[in-house]
Structure 1
């Protein structure tokens, strides 16, 4: 039976419901290019993946335009969007119980580290985490695979069987798989069940309580 010691959490869509702030920041950025967005729900796909990738995928921006759009995004996000956000129910209880079990809790996000730290401090969650790792403001270390690899290296983790990545998008699952660790895909965030299933996570969790149950008593991995 697995005994997970290092618990890696995605931030957006896993710990916090950040859709409104991110969507408004994207809308602000797109308006700079005379692209008007009426329905914020249509921007939900931007929550989770690296933003430059999303500008390229959804609006066919090139590298230069994507970098510029990211700077516009940050104009709004750093002042307003960052706090248009809320913690999912049961998350604080989950973190408390995991800490009581002696687990090492880590945030692994594609969001710049400086923003992740501000959000966790704003919601009084930073004290639960031993390590907070995100991307760099210059755009490097933006993929989830790179973030997880950095964490494993910095903490000098030798037994990858003691590490699990928890997230709501395929990027979390793929990043974990590339680093040879188990993954828990949460279905209450922004990724669809179809998206997550295609990425083949080790487990599925529908609620924070189910995350706790899996970590406390890992069962047979999901069968594909």
Structure 2
């Protein structure tokens, strides 16, 4: 199957954001005397948004009396350290360049807060992305299909010409709920084995494999 439109997850698919997220959650935890989380722990917590990351990092989760304060401290710190270490994965820009030169539509849908998504897209992907959508109060987060449907509607693109790309079980479920084919990436926050166990049908090992799924007759 070939596609004209590519709808991407952000963290773990296009951007390696783990270190900045780890530093931010550990800063917030340290203010209340809680132990630090390792890189691998934080990596495994990602996929369902920042609130879920904090919930899994804090003892007793949302029942912790300091939960809301820790969440706010995280948000403030992360806002100021959003791109300290974050970078696109190798060959992501080259891949996006190929898609764009072939007139493909490119969307990003993320469970990260919308303001953070817009900032990151403007920093790293300006000129490549036709629409980006992050978590906000007006739209349900993934794996609900709301973000994908919003992108499809606003870009006036058809589902049968579109594919969803991501790195986690949340993305596989999002694609399913949206009625889209799914391409999973092996360089993100979940292992190949985890992706297969979650129902992945197609897994790519390099961003430069993604244009192989492009409709080269795109008009």
**Conservation of the 8 A alpha-carbon contact between 1:21 and 1:82:** yes
Structure 1 segments unaligned to the other structure (5+ residues): 218-224
Q: Quote how far apart the aligned CAs of 1:58 are.
A: 5.3
SS in structure 2 of the partner of residue 128 of structure 1: coil
Shift of 1:141: 2.8
Match of 2:77 in 1: 76
Partner Cα distance (1:173, 1:186) in 2: 11
Equivalent position of 1:134 in the other structure:
134
Q: Which moved more, 1:180-189 or 1:80-89?
A: 80-89
Q: Distance in 1 between matches of 2:73 and 2:57?
A: 17
Q: Hey, what does 1:99 align to over in structure 2?
A: 100
What RMSD, in angstroms, separates the aligned Cα atoms of the two structures? 2.4
Post-superposition CA distance 1:61-110 (Å, at most 9, x none): 12786554332211110001343201111111101110111100011111
Q: What is the number of residues matched between the two proteins?
A: 213
Alignment of 1:33-182 (within 5 A): 33-37=32-36, 39-57=38-56, 59=58, 60-62=60-62, 66-123=67-124, 125-136=125-136, 138=137, 141-145=140-144, 146-157=146-157, 159-182=158-181
* Partners of 2:153 and 2:215 in 1: CA distance: 25
2:112 touches 2:134 (CA, 8 Å); kept in 1? yes
TM-score (norm 2): 0.86
| Deviating more after overlay: 65-74 vs 17-26 | 65-74
**Could you report, residue by residue, the CA deviation over 1:28-73 in whole angstroms, capped at 9, with x for unpaired residues?**
2222442111633332123332222334445441278655433221
SS in 2 for 1:164: strand
CA gap 1:142/1:82 in 2 versus in 1, 3 angstroms: farther
Equivalents in 2 of 1:7, 1:46: separation in Å?
25
Q: Do the aligned partners of 2:22 and 2:38 also contact (CA within 8 Å) in 1?
A: no
**Structure 1 contact 8–164 (Cα < 8 Å) conserved:** yes
Q: SS state of the match for residue 90, structure 2? A: coil
Contact 2:109/2:132, CA 8 A, preserved across alignment: yes
> What TM-score comes out, normalization by structure 1 length?
0.84
1:168 deviation in Å? 0.9
